[in-house]
Chains A and B, each alone.
Chain A
Amino acid sequence: MHADSTAGTVTATTERKAAALAAFKDLARDPGVPKPDPILVVDKVVRRFGGLTAVEVEHVEIQRGSITALIGPNGAGKTTFFNQLTGFDTADAGEWTFNGRPMNGVPAHKVARAGMVRTFQLTKALSRLTVMENMRLGAQQQKGESFFRALLPNLWRGQEDEITERAEDLLTRFKLAAKRDDFAGALSGGQRKLLEMARALMVQPELVMLDEPMAGVNPALTQSLLGHVKDLREQGMTVLFVEHDMDMVRDISDWVIVMAQGAVIAEGPPDTIMSDPRVIDAYLGAHHDAPLSETELQEQLHEAEAELEAEIEEETQK
């Protein structure tokens, strides 16, 4: 019986992954390629800081039920793009829809309520609240969060118990159950990342947006965090995450979107994306491995000789 149910989950697991991969199978590798079932569709989003164009995304779609990685060199505008989508910063132009619902200009808290929840690059644990209080805060539509109903505990106590139960399940899953009554500020960096992810799940989101979930996490915890991210897809959620660590991207993502200088420059499956010439150019510069021509070689040789001579001259003059 027990073995059966385990086998059942394993097949389900592979099914989800297979479904996600099948959706991406025949897609072109062009930036902005249309997906079969997009949860998030972004059109012409622009954000400028003075003269600098931080984000200028023409078109991009995120496939439902998949794990999509957003990568790119430093300063590519990944976090700024995240901030636009989640309402933490206002875009100068552009529109985007989540589940077909327009989301541009929607304030951050309404974005979260719509089912699109983010975490932060610098973890935001609410330090002087206990781990359990952190978790409870994530639950939506709490009766006790209205001023007048808060004064009458009988109105919200039942709901609070349900929330606590759900929070306890999540804490057990994230191995934080032993810490439930500790202040969040007393947790280690990695535990805070876990708490932030668990807290985001309390919102019961459809799309989870993780901004560098692995930054500053010790290697021992990385595997456990990876497992949790994969688990989100198994539970039917869509994941979009920003990451620098290519090993992690290759390990867990179904599809990769590459940004450089504010624009989406390429898309593709994780195992081949890093060999895409556009991506190599963006990371290493366009001419990093072009062979040197004969004249260039000569020039370099002359330069080196001239430098040497100057050095010798300096030495003898002393």
Chain B
Amino acid sequence: MTATLIVLAVIMGGVVFWLIRQTLNVQPWAEEGPIGQDHASGPFSVQPAKVGLIVFLAVAASLFSLFVSAYFQRMEFGDWKIAPEPFVLWINTAFLILASVFYQLARNAVIKNQTAQVKSNLLIAGFFTFAFMGGQLWAWQEFHNSGYVLSGNPANAFFYVLTAVHAAHILGGLWVWSRTLFKLQSIVETRKVRTSVELCAIYWHFLLLIWLVLFALLLST
């Protein structure tokens, strides 16, 4: 469980450190009046949706770190047979990096209120994401056809499970992506989709990071 403990130690450490710092020299019994923030905002100067997303990313990080921990623990047993990863995964990785890059460009464009660039960059980002998903399916096919079936060996099973759980997260992202695109068609003001483009960009970078970790794990073992 070392991998999980490291990830959770970072998350919990951050939470505990932040909370203790917020509460350290405060003497609530001795203070009166509407102190604190000027507005009814929270301690973070960001939108609630962003806080929600960050919390969700912490949940997803916990989930993937647990899978990685399980992977390491299961590997120790004698029946584990190393399977070669399909080469197409390298191409898929490139697709996902490009998707992330174009999402970042879309984000930069939405801040500058450039509607046309937002649309085109979003479309390209979506295209590369779909290419990644198609490539993953191809990798499954290839893996399966080479005789590495799900129930054959725990190493195969982990390959399918890790890629599937990652893909499920991408699908969730694509759903928000399609809604953003749909909204862009029907409304005039680009800044109304600003939040969802910004948050999706963060989500895409996060999923890229997770994929790089998973891919490295699969390659190295």
A and B interact: no
